[in-house]
Structure 1
Amino acid sequence: MIGIKFVPNKLIQSLIKGLPNAKWSKQYNMAYIPNTKSNLGVIFNTFKGLVWINYNRFLTNKPINTKNESIDVEWFRKRKTVPEYRVCPEEYLLKLELKRYANNTVRTYVSFFEMFINYYKDKELNTINESDIRAFLQTLIRRKVSNSYLNQAINAIKFYYEVVLGMPNRFYEIERPRKESKLPKVISKEEVLSIIACTNNIKHRCIAELLYSSGLRRSELLNLKATDIDSKRMLIRVEGSKGNKDRYTLLSKTTLEDLRIYFKEWKPKEYLFEGQKGGRYGGESVLKIVKTAAQKANIKQVVTPHVLRHSFATHLLESGVDLRQIQVLLGHGSSKTTEIYTHVATNTFKTIKNPLD
């Protein structure tokens, strides 16, 4: 059924009476009609321009992505915890599983939500209110955590009340920290080349080359398979990246030559880069490869896989590539995200004459 909850109003009551097979539920204290697609349309057309309709309950079951990595929540169910430690409710884990959230998101949400419910160990979950949530967040602010950390805590808490329990989000409109506007860290082309030159072997070299020459995220690199390398069109297919989007990005000729050498030598079976025992290569290993090579190249700033991605975008912009094309290559949903590179590209400043000179 479609339940219709509303503040008593004569206009709304008279309009509800005109809905097909409208009935009243004493148990739930709301009107209801059969849940059909046509009835949803009838409700929209009946109340359009007169009231605001909250359709949230009908939008939560939108199609899910089936390409995500397999979700592993069994680890949370089977782990050993200390006595009196309050674990994440089963319905929370189940909802994460059903919505097929990425494993990293699952780990983040569970750890933050457990931190929250253990802060209120003596309170029943259904008695924790908005003031309690704010008090908990205040303790995090006093610890001087980053805005990103605070936002993750808010997301984990809101997920329980709004998605698991299905409460309207306006009841839990928690204030978020002001968004920080940080510029991406970028290194020069010469520094990128010196990092690639300082890698230990052909496998490490290919990893560093792909991160830079294709602008890949670390997770995208780890999910690559040999079939994703299109040497005829000189493109790389990136599947199920951030936001469950597929895209194509550039394949460098230099990288392709090195990949052919790597493939003959290492013979990967499933993923393009695999661990010693097979399976997907580790994210920490990729980070270590980049950091170690950067240290060998005597680069003073800390270089991560994402710094190479930022450098790829910035160097393209400096060489005159259109911002929209860069957005497509990076897989950004909004052009505003890509515009941040205009603040670090040197061609933005080269035309300006310094007043001292």
Structure 2
Amino acid sequence: MIWKAKLIKHHNLERIAVEFGKDEDLIRRIKLISDARWSAQKKLWHIPDTFENRERFNIIQREDTLPSREGEEHLQQFIRWLSAKRYSSNTIKTYSESLKLFFVYFRNKSISELTNTDVLDFNNDHILKNNFSASYQNQITSAIKLYFRTIRNTNINVDKIDRPKKNKVLPNVLSKDEVKNILDAHANVKHKTMLSLIYSCGLRCNELIQLKPMDIDSKRNIVLIKQAKGKKDRITPLSPKILDLLRIYYQLYKPKTYLFEGQEAGTIYSAKSLQAVLKQALRKAKIKKPVTLHWLRHSYATHLLESGTDLRYIQELLGHNSSRTTEIYTHVSTNSLQHIKSPFDDL
């Protein structure tokens, strides 16, 4: 065996430690696992403790990490219900893993006997005790509420399950100069085109890698984004500069199925690799901020607002359901702030 895997607790989180000798191929492969991290202190890689990762590294499931037989049956029913409703595979995985955690916690109690008090105890004695984030708590709450709306013979009143109070966090925005430095950092045409398209159209990471050549309409100068978040199609304007860049890229790479493909023709480009492309650009541009791909989308929206674009159009371009989601960019736009004179200047 070229690696050893074991269950550990890291910063009060259940993780799987994976130890192996210095091997570039194994390092590359483990980096492809979602939320894989290197611990400089422990000198090992660690990944989330999930059923999938336990199977991947042949870790025997402990009895106390599995739901009861009844819980497993309910879990499978929930997965089938979500599939029938055509929820995305990512949403199904997220919701089912969240509900499974709740069922495991109450594995010695019949599901029909669970009450709102149990939900409250779970939040206090498991979520808060383990210092899980509010967003993670909200994710599990969403799964619990959705599931118990779909079944009968339950003592849980879904409408009385409260969500954690949300943190009011402003989106991270880059200046136009910073964006330009990031987009100009790569000499590789493919990498440059991917990052440029994300910014110029305000795309989410998954929206970019799902694009196909036919989604670029050069006659109408639009990009068609199909079945994005919320199962919605939308269109965004296609910049003439991006179209020129896309034509150069297409001549060089000649993609077959997806606009941006992996190492093998016809395969989808991985989100992990796209994140690595951004990290390389940040390093070359000497930008120290913890920029993510979503920062480019936030910057696109803010720069549109600062150039005078109506908020309603920005909402359509980003694919937001609610105008309240788009309105957050008014709090990071600097146009109005620049006209405010600080009283400090008069001292």
**Which TM-score band (shorter chain)?**
0.7 to 0.9
Q: Secondary structure at the residue paired with 1:247?
A: strand
**Could you tell me which residue of structure 2 aligns to residue 92 of structure 1?**
78
Summarize deviations over 1:267-326 as a string: whole Å, max 9, x none: 111111111123221111111111221122111211111100000011111111111111
Q: 1:330 to 1:171 in 2, by over 3 A?
A: closer
Q: Which of 157, 167, 186 does residue 199 from structure 1 map onto?
A: 186
**Cα distance in structure 2, aligned partners of 1:341 and 1:269:** 37
CA RMSD in angstroms comes to 2.2
TM-score by length of 1: 0.74
Structure number with larger C-alpha Rg: 1
Summarize deviations over 1:216-271 as a string: whole Å, max 9, x none: 01111111111111112211111111122111112122211111111111111111
**Could you tell me which residue of structure 1 aligns to residue 128 of structure 2?**
141
**Could you tell me which residue of structure 2 aligns to residue 269 of structure 1?**
256
**Could you tell me which residue of structure 2 aligns to residue 125 of structure 1?**
111
Q: CA deviation at 1:110?
A: 1.6
Alignment partner of 1:336 is 2:324: yes
Q: CA deviation at 1:200?
A: 4.9
Contact 2:209 2:260 in 1 (8 A): yes
- Taking the TM superposition and a 5 Å limit, the aligned residue runs for 1:25-174 are 82-84=61-63, 85-86=66-67, 87=72, 89-138=75-124, 139-165=126-152, 170-171=157-158, 173-174=160-161
Query: What is the identity, as a one-letter code, of the residue corresponding to 2:289?
Result: Q
**Cα distance in structure 2, aligned partners of 1:169 and 1:132:** 9
Q: Secondary structure at the residue paired with 2:343?
A: coil
Q: CA deviation at 1:91?
A: 0.8
- Sequence identity of aligned pairs in percent? 45
Query: What is the identity, as a one-letter code, of the residue corresponding to 2:173?
Result: V
- Taking the TM superposition and a 5 Å limit, the aligned residue runs for 1:157-236 are 157-165=144-152, 170-171=157-158, 173-236=160-223
Q: 1:328 to 1:135 in 2, by over 3 A?
A: same
**Could you tell me which residue of structure 1 aligns to residue 311 of structure 2?**
323
**Cα distance in structure 2, aligned partners of 1:146 and 1:309:** 24
The structure richer in strand per residue is: 2
**Could you tell me which residue of structure 2 aligns to residue 347 of structure 1?**
335
Q: Which of 275, 298, 318 does residue 286 from structure 2 map onto?
A: 298
Q: CA deviation at 1:121?
A: 2.0
**Cα distance in structure 1, aligned partners of 2:187 and 2:223:** 24
Query: What is the identity, as a one-letter code, of the residue corresponding to 2:172?
Result: K
Contact 2:115 2:156 in 1 (8 A): no
Q: CA deviation at 1:143?
A: 2.3
Summarize deviations over 1:132-179 as a string: whole Å, max 9, x none: 111111120232222211110111112221124486984452111112
Q: Secondary structure at the residue paired with 1:356?
A: helix
Q: Secondary structure at the residue paired with 1:143?
A: coil
Q: 1:252 to 1:145 in 2, by over 3 A?
A: same
**Cα distance in structure 2, aligned partners of 1:206 and 1:167:** 52
Query: What is the identity, as a one-letter code, of the residue corresponding to 2:88?
Result: A
- Taking the TM superposition and a 5 Å limit, the aligned residue runs for 1:276-291 are 276-277=263-264, 278-291=266-279
**Cα distance in structure 1, aligned partners of 2:143 and 2:321:** 23
**Cα distance in structure 1, aligned partners of 2:127 and 2:242:** 45
Q: 1:165 to 1:280 in 2, by over 3 A?
A: farther
Aligned positions, number: 282
**Cα distance in structure 1, aligned partners of 2:292 and 2:184:** 16
**Could you tell me which residue of structure 2 aligns to residue 241 of structure 1?**
228
**Cα distance in structure 2, aligned partners of 1:93 and 1:337:** 29
Larger mean CA deviation between 262-271 and 78-87 belongs to 78-87
Contact 1:211 1:308 in 2 (8 A): yes
Summarize deviations over 1:188-232 as a string: whole Å, max 9, x none: 111111111112511111110011000001111111111111112
- Taking the TM superposition and a 5 Å limit, the aligned residue runs for 1:250-265 are 250-265=237-252
Query: What is the identity, as a one-letter code, of the residue corresponding to 2:107?
Result: K
TM-score by length of 2: 0.76
